[in-house]
Amino acid sequence: MGMAVILTAAVLLSGCGRREPTLLRKTDTAMGTIVSQSIYVTRSGSHPESPTEAVMDAIRSLEEETLSWRLETSEIYRLNSHEETELSPELSEILQTCLKVSEKSGGAFDVTIGALARLWNMDTWAADSENVQLPGEEQVLRALPLCGYGKLLEENPSWQDAASAKLSLPAGMQLDLGAVGKGAALDEIAGLLAEREEVTGAVISVGGSILTYGEKPDRSSFKVAIVNPADTSGNIGYLELQGQWCISTSGDYERFVEVDGKRYHHILDPHTGFPSESGVSSVTILSEDGLLSDALSTACFVLGAEEGMALAQNFGAEALFVDNGGNISMTEGMEQYFHLY
Ligand code: AMP
Ligand code: MG
């Protein structure tokens, strides 16, 4: 009891007297992945809800109301049910950005691959890897014509330019925003933190996507580790960053299954309908924008290092690739941030 009182007094003194920020930590799950938060706060906050709770709420509502293909409550679910859907400005903006990345990547990135994604069923691989049934070539070839962002644009000719929020999917098409949900969440979280004057810095990861925000109390850099795809218990190096950034990694180690001695990962080449074989094991994108970082990481994984780097730079982002042989390559702009172990 006496000890607790002393500790509380010490925290209060450091909080109020010198305004030294305190660290809030929280690990939880949302969007089918782990969310881990470190948020530095001073004690001047006026919100009744803690920032870590607010972050979880924001991720969950983005999933439930907007992005999930599973939950009947979401806009994507309604679109996929082929009801003509009045899009929220938020989803409109997300889809517009996705289509831009599709166009500039020559279709390597494509959120209209839902029919293929359901066929491969990668979301269930982790839970039941013993009994995975992979699709045959014929099934894949039948699903391919149901996919393609070009077909979505043909069905909605004026959607891209007009302010119209109405969108309808061609017959059989399904949207899958699995490649961008975590990055989109980071943008929302960054906005939320900016509205909270008590937050002085934060590092928040939603699966393979990470937001750095503000600064640490001692002003030292944020260090974001890059996993070794060949041995995920270790890292190949880290990015050293100051201020606000989004970092997204797509890797063949994140979700995969082995069937008859062959390894299949979760990122599809929309042109073949099969897991991409570009020689990439992982790609990390650094961008000021969360949605872009996540879309580009998936796009670059499919494109491979050479074309991927050009694509990233086209969007003002930096990229770092690890190939199947463990070789690292990166855009010139990435070199100032990356440190090899
Ligand atoms: P990420 O881990 O961010 O690269 O996202 C992978 C997820 O995006 C997969 O689990 C699928 O749901 C979806 N996806 C797979 N391949 C593609 C692709 N070529 N374009 C867009 N989304 C994809
Ligand atoms: Mg991605």
pLDDT greater than 60 at residue 12: no
Going by pLDDT thresholds of 50, 70 and 90, the confidence category of residue 11 is very low
Name every protein residue with a CB atom under 6 angstroms from any ligand 1 atom.
109-111, 113, 117, 122, 176, 178-179, 208, 250, 254, 266-268, 270, 294, 297-298, 301-302
* Higher pLDDT among residues 272 and 124, named by residue: 272
Q: Collect all residues with Cβ–Cβ distance below 8 Å to 326 and sequence separation of at least 6.
A: 230, 281
Report pLDDT for 15.
Answer: 43
**Does the pLDDT at position 124 exceed 90?**
no
Q: What is the pTM of this model?
A: 0.93
Q: What is the pLDDT of residue 185?
A: 98
Ligand 1 atom index nearest CA of 109: 20
For a pLDDT cut of 70, what percent of the chain falls above it?
Answer: 94
* Percentage, residues of the chain above pLDDT 90: 81
CA of 25 to the centre of ligand 1 (A): 29
Q: Which ligand is nearest to the CA of 282?
A: 1
Q: pLDDT at position 44, please?
A: 73
Phi-psi region of 172 (alpha: psi -120 to 50; beta: other; left: phi over 0): left
pLDDT at 195 over 80: yes
Residues 70-103: tens digit of each pLDDT: 999 999 999 999 987 889 999 999 999 999 999 9
- Span 35-52, pLDDT tens digits: 999 999 997 777 889 999
User: Residue 197 above 80 pLDDT?
Assistant: yes
Dump pLDDT digits (tens) for 246-258: 999 999 999 888 8
Closest CA to 323 of 184, 192, 229: 229
Q: What is the mean pLDDT of the chain?
A: 92
Q: State the distance from the centre of ligand 1 to the C-alpha of 278, rounded, in angstroms.
A: 15
pLDDT value for 50: 94
pLDDT above 50: residue 216: yes
Q: What is the pLDDT of residue 163?
A: 63
Asked if the model's pLDDT at residue 160 lies above 90, the reply is no
Q: For residue 284, how far is its CA from the centre of ligand 2 (angstroms)?
A: 9
Instruction: Output 86 or 145, whichever has higher pLDDT.
Output: 145
Residue 41 CA to ligand 2 center (angstroms) comes to 30
Tokens of 216: 């640490």
CA dist list (Å): 217 to 21, 37, 220, 257: 6, 16, 8, 42
pLDDT reported for residue 5: 47
Residue 323 has pLDDT above 60, yes or no: yes
Give the ligand at the shortest distance from the Cα of 295: 2
What is the dihedral angle through the alpha carbons of 207, 210, 215, 218, rounded to the nearest 10 degrees? 60
What's the angle, vertex CA 24, arms to CA 20 and CA 29, rounded to 5?
A: 160
Residue 239 and residue 241: Cα distance in Å, rounded?
Answer: 6
